[in-house]
Amino acid sequence: MTTTVTSGQTTDVRTRMEETRAFVRGLMEKKVKPEWLRTMDAEGRTPDEIVEVFAEHGLLGLTVPGDFGGAGLGLAEYCAAQEAVSRSHPVLSILLSSTGGLAPTAINRFGTPEQKEKYLPPLTTGQSRTSFALTEAEAGSDAAAITTRAERTADGWRINGSKQFISGAESADLFLVIASTDPAKRGRGLSAFLVGRDTPGFQVTRIDHAFGSPAWTLAELRFDDCVVPQESLLGELGQGLKVALSSLNEGRLSVASICLGGASYLVEAAAEHAKARTTFGAPLASRQAIRFMLADSVTEIAAARALIRATIEDIEHGAQAPANASAAKLFSSEMAGRVADRAVQIFGANGVTSDSVIGRIFRDLRVFRIGEGASEVQRMVIAKELLGKEVA
């Protein structure tokens, strides 16, 4: 019996995603104890026991090549795993992304052999995690407006500036930092750097908790004459925007999958509650209004799943598909909001208490209409693809 997640190289995207989803969901149900998930919310941290289970069964470093100890899986399996873990707790998606998401993918694509050998293997064992540091106070969706500055020194680079709303920073050991090396060139003057947590001049200065689970944190980073060696440069000089955007499709499809997982849990929980809850002498599920809410949720979840899968298939066949990835992220994140709202309505007062899992997931999922590109940005990408670049 398979004990680690694997890829069926000769099967189609649908089959690979279904197999991965089933494996990870079974793993979550059998190996991850409910009290560990409660610890996440009570103490605002991911228990070491969960990290150990994920490492043992190949969920850490999912996309890291086998030569560096990872599972070497593709986008289909990665998204299916994100969906499955998010059914149990959306915050667990950060554990997968910090070891197999944006930063690890960038290192694998743009790193030197030495950088790959140094940074990728520890991600697969739980010894190390990464964080992707791009957003600033005045530069979120507009990456070209980044003001964090990296200036060349005799031995490397001196970084000054700050980053905000950085996910996973409280537990990260390695940060992929996008900084300006030529401000006059704006977006074409950005470069990517790998900065260790213990680098002098670098600090995680503030950690904010999102309004869902306390385990969901967003940090502020500061760089005060933070000097890094020349070999910290990831990719070519001035290639930072390319590095940042190279995994954009994967990141947006990952978020879409996280929303899909959370929404799937909510509709199933709402259906079970509706069957068990009795009002006016009959199950809540017998009410047409409740049935319609559940039916709408199931339909939208199916549409999101189909859109995610179709986009992954296009990418695997060589398509760039930025508008499709944006559409998947846009629809799935807003779909999850509607499904979550209906679930809270069906649970009634049980859905709005401070310790309600339904209410907590409702709040967790709301983050994704902003993170990884707000819904408005996704609409801009989709419209630009439709109308053409010549339309202002």
User: Which of the residues are catalytic?
Assistant: 372
Q: How many CB atoms lie within 10 A of CB 352?
A: 13
Q: Which residue is listed with tokens 């000097």?
A: 227
- Using CB atoms within 10 A of its CB, is residue 91 exposed (0-12), middle (13-18) or buried (19+)? buried
Give the pair of three-digit tokens for residue 255: 């978020």
**How far apart, in whole angstroms, are the C-alpha atoms of residue 186 and residue 170?**
29
**How far apart, in whole angstroms, are the C-alpha atoms of residue 355 and residue 363?**
12
- Using CB atoms within 10 A of its CB, is residue 162 exposed (0-12), middle (13-18) or buried (19+)? middle
**How far apart, in whole angstroms, are the C-alpha atoms of residue 336 and residue 23?**
23
Give the pair of three-digit tokens for residue 106: 């960038």
**How far apart, in whole angstroms, are the C-alpha atoms of residue 275 and residue 277?**
6
